[in-house]
Amino acid sequence: MSSFAENLQNIDRRYLYLTLLLIVVIGLLVPIPLPLAVGPQARGVYDAIEKADPRKLAIVSTLWSASTQGENRPQTRVIIEHLMRRKLKFALIAFGDPQSTILAYEVADELAPKYGYKYGRDWINFGFRADIAGTLKGMVRNIEETLKQDTKERKPLHQFPIMKGIRNFDDVGFIAEVSASANYVSWLGLVAGSTDAPFCYAPTSVMAPELYTYIDSGQIAGMLFGIKGAAEYERMLGIKGFTTRAITPVSLTLILLFVLIGLGNYGMFASRRQGGKA
Amino acid sequence: MIHASDRWESAILIALLSAIVLLTIVTAQRGRKYFVRRIPGLNAIDEAVGRATEMGRPILMVPGLSGLGVVGLQALTIFSYIIKTAAQFGNRLIMPTADSALYTVAEEVVRDSYTAAGKPEDYDPNSVYFLSDRQFAFASGVAGTIFREKVAASFLFGDFFAESLIFAEAGQQVGAIQVAGTVSTTQLPFFIASCDYTIIGDEYYAASAYISREPTLLGSLVGQDYCKIIILLVVLIGTIAMSIPALGAKWFFIQWFTL
Amino acid sequence: MNLQKFLISAFPAAKGSMIWIAPLLVIACSVVLFFVLQSLPGRARKALIASLTFLAGLFYALEFFWPVRKGTDENFLTFAVPTVGNVINVLAAFTLGLGVFSLVRIHTGKVVKQREGWPNSAVLLISIVVMAVAGIRFENTLFFRSLFRDVLNSFDAAMFATLAFFIISAAYRAFRIKSAEATLLMVAALVVMLGQIPIGQYLTHWIPENGSFASIFRLDSISNWLLLTVNAPATRAIGFGLGIGGLAIALRLWLSLERGAFFEAKADES
Amino acid sequence: MIEYSHPVGIWIGAIGTLALFSLILKENWLYRLFEHMFIGLAAGYTIKAAWHEILKPQWWIPMTRDGQWPWAFALFGGFLFYTIFTKRYNWMSRISIGILLGFAAGQAFQATANLYIPQIRGSFKPLWVTQSMLPAGSQVTPLGQSLNNILFLVIIITVMTYFFFSFEQKNRVIQSTARTGRLMLMFAFGAIFGSTVMARMALLIDRVWFLMHRWLGIG
């Protein structure tokens, strides 16, 4: 006969799965006000954009595909939205996965009308490049010569008003990369030395831990830690977007995990004490 | 570092390590006997194959996501030994692959292994197939197969990414006995959580030597150990030098490795 | 001697109608080459495979070890690196036909013999055709964009998201205080998770961030410490072993030293 | 603005999402259907990508427009793979396989140097840290950093000791060093596990939101 405690250590996985699903749905529908402290890393990104020189170009580099859009899309969105609020000119560039240029373009394209952003004047899409090291090395010398044309209208870059007076990274005031991989190596290794622009990073939460070394050394000015970082950012911007909504279920699912691990261990010890099989 | 001349000292270290491995391979081929310690997970292979025989259900082998390169080939080498054992017992085999170039080699390896085991007629051409080179399409196909076929044993060797846990949990849920090994360190925790035996780190590369006792591979393994000792020494010297203020980061030895 | 110039003069670009005639001539030569190859005796076959493998590897090895010309970061082989990269890509792309052939063969077989689950196989075959045709011929249509984004990407993301379920059941089962190893695994995971979620950070957010000794007891600090001071060296130590292991197997393949099921080239058997 | 989505596509995507999710409860006919559709679409997309991203720009165009006729040899190289299905000629597939393997192997020197030399250099950490060695504004005290660095070295040594294969680990010292190494590994793996959980949850939430919001229009 199986005791209650023994059952606790062998809960049918289907119950676990359904509970998880239920928690996610409820968490998305009923916003439970959970405390959210804005961390210093997210604040670092915010300050970098606040302090950026409006005469210079901001660059948002993306390296993510649909598979990590749960974290990377809201990150891209908050950064672009903040840039638009501050009326900063920005350019999108994509590496790693050809999809990433389409996905990032969509985000910017969607926000543009709200802030009166005009393509070619206020923002531009440099498009996807397969070879990140070569592209960045070239851009350090001359952005226009390296990239040649934009992706949307396929016109030479100098024909766009936004590119006036922009030659190389000296004319760049802010760099952010939203990424699902460890691309910071290229940016820090190849670009950081030739610009004063602060470098910010918005990785998935799997990647984020790797970056603390560089934050500690000051090479990275700020970071959005996965979906949590995006939620903190929405809070600073005072908008209630997807992540503000999503952060509740994120917390709830992790609490569920803690509870389950607790129950499993309690069950194991309790049944051991009763002389049951552990 | 694009060329050796960017930092000769570092390049020489790489060349030196290569030379050591080659040297031990040659001495092993000339008849010197080398030893290899026990690797627990690998002893479980026979147990897993035996279980599959008892249950009369198939054995699954996945050579990871990577293409035709050292990691995928190493997986196939390990599999070829497992297949030779399995062929003796007439187990059914399923091997989905995620790369078309690796698939061509896998198909040959499996066929050859059946021939080597003396059972060429047991080879089923439909057992090795290309599924998808798209990570999660591959995952959906393999997971579906694990559930449908209720595989008795599952061997996951190669390069795995996020899909590792899908395979391992699916296998867990159908009660398969699972042995996994991967070079992707970030996926090891999930294999450890869900598999019966996990080959960690470069046990993956030691596996073929361990199973086959082939002199070339044993020699190579000994060479690899020497190389690791050298790296450890380099790290130690560097650490000590950094701790002595008079030497520090400017010292020539440390500069050797500063790119 | 400049290798690049030599190659350009040895293989001049075809012009006019030669653009089509030259490749056809190459194909004709290939047919001849095929039969010449087949006439080789076993030993020669083996030697040929080993030496081609060696030469292919030698290209990258030499390109790496050969000193660069003064003032540049190139040596006499560097110019060819992009081309060789293309050759690898193209050769690998040609194998795709084999993969797709394998898929189509198995599923056509099921459909033709009406074996169990054949309608699924039919769906699979239709999906291949629809996606390939739409992608190659009708890339700039809403149909393809929606098929790619709404359908294929959704499937990708859905399968990826099942990991959330699997990670819950795996953690529930594995994180038990059974042994020292399992306990360490659990403790580290719990601390890192707590350090990541907003509520965990909130637990210790009253501890000052900077400048005080107590700050190291913030949950996010502990979690960062774990990742940087414990995880990083362990991963690195594993990495050194893997690096050497990979180098060793690469050497064995390059020099055809590997003996085993596949590598023992059995060219002389057939 | 370019349109990317169509309601029909969203419907198929949503039903497919539910079908793929259903695997966690039980393998069923709906899962099987969408699994096959998924694999088919993926294969179709691979064909498209191989043509558009590799064969057309890197092979066909250079050969047929720029007159680079030696590319026709690549066709022969590719063809040799296909001999694998014949008994008589299948040895020839090894020519192409061998060339691909050779290229992969030859890159190992540069790859090893690039990947591991910086890590070796990065492991040179002073065991005794003074205030001047710390970066400005660092929150760690010299003593704390010294302890961290010592631990760093200890972990590297113990873990690498665990991975020595060619001698019996009989010696007491080596035995306990290797054992410590293994425990350290578990600690590290736990940290990796923990740092992955939130990302996976975010993906699920994104999907559920897709179902609720984009498909059903809730919220």
Residue C170 lies in a domain: no
pLDDT tens for each residue of C43-57? 899 899 999 999 999
Is the complex ipTM more than 0.95? no
* pLDDT tens over chain D, length 219 residues: 567 789 999 999 999 999 999 999 999 999 999 999 999 999 999 999 889 888 988 899 889 988 889 999 999 999 999 998 888 898 999 999 999 999 999 999 988 888 888 889 889 999 988 877 776 656 678 888 899 999 999 999 999 999 999 877 778 888 899 999 999 999 999 999 998 998 899 999 999 999 999 899 887
Residue C89 falls inside a structural domain: no
In a domain, A35, yes or no: no
Interval A113-127: pLDDT, tens: 999 999 999 999 998
Determine the Cα–Cα distance for residues C108 and C36; give it in Å rounded to an integer.
36
pLDDT, tens only, D116-145? 888 898 899 999 888 777 766 566 788 888
Closest approach of D51 to chain A, Cα-based (Å):
15
The per-residue pLDDT for D74 is: 93
CB-nearest partner of A67 from B136, B173, B186: B136
C265: confidence class by pLDDT, cuts 50, 70, 90: very low
Reported as type and span, the H/E element at residue B97 is strand B93-97
- Structural tokens at position C176: 């038990």
Domain boundaries along the sequence of chain B: 4-35+216-256, 40-212
Residue A15 located in a structural domain: yes
Instruction: Answer whether residue C253 is part of any domain.
Output: yes
Please give the structure tokens belonging to residue C270.
């057939």
In this structure, whether the domain defined by B40-212 belongs to CATH 3.20.20 is answered with no
- Distance, in Å, from the CA atom of D102 to the CA atom of B119, rounded to the nearest integer, reads 32
Residues C56 and D104: their CA atoms lie apart, in Å, by 9
As a whole number, mean pLDDT of residues A4-8 equals: 79
C-alpha distances (whole Å) from A35 to each of A74, C199, D209 are: 20, 6, 22
Determine whether the interchain pair B225/D165 forms a contact, defined as Cβ–Cβ distance below 8 Å: yes
- Structurally, chain C folds into a number of domains equal to 1
Neighbors of chain C by Cβ distance (3+ pairs < 8 Å): A, B, D
Per residue in C199-208, pLDDT (tens digit) is 777 777 777 7
Cβ of B239 within 8 Å of Cβ of D125? The answer is yes
Closest CA to B228 of C245, D183, D184, D123: C245
Asked whether residue C48 is domain-assigned, the answer is no
Shortest CA distance from B258: residue in chain D:
D121
**pLDDT-based confidence at A36, cuts 50/70/90?**
confident
Chain C CB contacts of A69 under 8 Å are 157
Range of the domain at C250: 175-270
Whether the predicted pLDDT of C263 surpasses 60: no
Q: Whole-angstrom Cα distance, residue D81 to residue B161?
A: 28
**B3, C253: Cβ pair inside 8 Å?**
no
Q: Which amino acid is present at D200?
A: R
> Alpha carbon of C202 to those of A34, A35, A227: distances in Å?
9, 7, 16
Q: For every one of its 259 residues, what pLDDT tens digit does chain B have, with 9 covering 90 and above?
A: 778 888 888 899 999 999 999 999 999 999 888 888 888 888 889 889 999 999 999 999 999 998 888 899 999 999 999 999 999 998 999 999 999 999 989 998 999 899 989 999 999 989 999 999 999 999 999 999 999 999 999 999 999 999 999 999 999 999 999 999 999 998 999 999 999 999 999 899 999 889 888 888 999 999 999 999 999 999 999 999 999 888 888 898 988 888 7
Q: For residue D155, give the chain B residue with the closest CA.
A: B232
Q: Is residue A234 part of a domain?
A: yes
Residue C1: pLDDT over 60: no
- Would residue A225 count as lying in a domain? yes
**Residue indicated by tokens 């599999």:** B79
Q: How many domains does chain A have?
A: 2
Query: Is D39 in Cβ contact with C49 (below 8 Å)?
Result: no
Considering only residues 160 to 219 of chain C, which have any Cβ-Cβ distance to chain B shorter than 8 Å?
160, 162-163, 166-167, 169-171, 173-174, 185
Q: What is the pLDDT of residue A1?
A: 46
Average pLDDT, chain A: 87
| Interface contact B103-C95, CB threshold 8 A | yes
Based on the domain organization, do A260 and A126 belong to the same domain?
no
DSSP, res B65 = S
C-alpha–C-alpha distance, residues A191 and D122, integer Å: 20
Pick from D124, D152, D195 the residue to mutate for testing the B interface (most B CBs within 10 Å).
Answer: D124
**Is C202 among the domain residues?**
yes
Residue C159 lies in a domain: no
Give me the domain span that covers residue A45: 40-240
Do A212 and A89 lie in one domain? The reply is yes
Q: Looking at residue A119, what DSSP letter applies?
A: B
Contact C253 B103 (CB under 8 A): no
Mention every residue, 6+ apart, whose C-beta is less than 8 A from residue A263.
A8, A9, A11
* Domain match, A204 and A101 both: yes
What token pair was written down for A168? 């190389």
**Is residue A156, in this structure, part of any structural domain at all?**
yes
Beta bridge partners of B178: B154
Together in a domain, A114 and A153: yes
Query: Averaged over A187-210, what is the pLDDT?
Result: 84
Considering chain A, what percentage of its residues have pLDDT values greater than 90?
49
pLDDT digits (tens, 9 = 90+) for A129-150: 877 877 888 888 889 888 888 8
CB within 8 Å: D166 and B35:
yes
Q: Give the chains touching B; criterion: ≥3 Cβ pairs < 8 Å.
A: A, C, D
Statement: residue C260 has pLDDT above 60? no
* Span of C35-39, C193-197, D110-114 with lowest mean pLDDT: C193-197
Whether D119 contacts chain B with CB within 8 A: no
Residue C139: both structure tokens together:
């890339």
Q: How far apart are CA B243 and CA D125, in angstroms?
A: 7
